[in-house]
Amino acid sequence: MTATTTTQVSIEETDTAHLRAGAQITMEEIGVHLSGVVVLLRQLARAAEHARTFARLAAIVDGDVPVAAAFPGGDPWGAAARGQDRETYGGPAVVPTVRQLLWLAYNAAHFSPERRDDIEHTTYAEAMNGISHRGWESKAAQARRRSERDAEVRREVLRILCERCGATDGEHCRTTTGRVSEQAHKGRQREAEANVDARLGYLGDNPVHVDTE
C-alpha cells in the first residue's frame, strides 16, 4: 500500500481527507496513523524530559537549589577542587558536568533526615566563586577538541603549497625519491597549524579557547 502524503490543512474534526487515500479510511491506514501518534507522544515526552532537566539546571546555577559541597568520597568540586591532584573520574571537577550537578543537587535533597545534617550544603554560585568557565575542560572534552583540531590541521595542510617538495592544493608531500608521505614537511605543517589555531581561537598547542574579551 502506498502511504498518503496529503497535508492536513484544517483543524475541523470532519476534515479527514488527509488521513485516507480513498473514500473510506482502512484499518491499515488507522494502524499507521496510530503508530505515528505513538512516536509523536514519545518524542514529546522526551522533549518534556529535556525541558525539565534544563529548568532544573537553571535553578541550580541560579542558586535556587542547594547542592552537596562534595562527592561521596569527599572529593571537592568548584573552587575547592583547584590544584587537586585527582587521577580518577577524569581529574578534578573544577567545572562539574551536567550529570555531576544534577547528582549533587539530588544528594543534597534526598539523604535521609538522620544523615542530612552530615552533608555540607552550598550553592553553585558559592562553590564556583572565583572560577572562570573559560579555560576549564574535562579530559574527555580536551581530547575531543584536540581530535577536531588535528583533523582540521590535516585538511589545512592539503590547501597549502609546500615550498619543500612543491606539493600543491590537494596533494600530499613527497619524499626526495618521489614517494607520497603521510607526514607533511615541517614548514607546511607549521603554517597549517598556525592557520587553524588562529581560525579556531586556540592558544598555541593548548586546545582551549582564548578569552579575547
How many Cβ atoms from other residues are within 10 Å of residue 6's Cβ? 10
Query: pLDDT at residue 49 above 70?
Result: yes
The per-residue pLDDT for range 130-161, each reduced to its tens digit, is 776 555 556 676 778 888 889 999 999 999 99
Position 195 confidence tier, pLDDT thresholds 50, 70, 90: very high
Structural domain boundaries of the chain? 25-131, 139-209
pTM (predicted TM-score): 0.45
The per-residue pLDDT for range 55-82, each reduced to its tens digit, is 888 899 888 899 998 887 778 888 888 7
**Which strand (E) or helix (H) includes residue 194?**
helix 186-200
pLDDT for position 1: 42
* Mean pLDDT value of segment 13-36: 88
The per-residue pLDDT for range 93-117, each reduced to its tens digit, is 677 888 888 889 988 887 644 554 5
Query: pLDDT at residue 11 above 50?
Result: yes
Position 170 confidence tier, pLDDT thresholds 50, 70, 90: very high
Grid cell for residue 104? 549533587
Q: What is the mean pLDDT of the chain?
A: 80
Nearest residue to 101 (alpha-carbon basis) of 52, 65, 140, 135: 65
CA-to-CA distance for 91 and 99, rounded, in angstroms?
A: 15
More confident residue, 22 or 212: 22
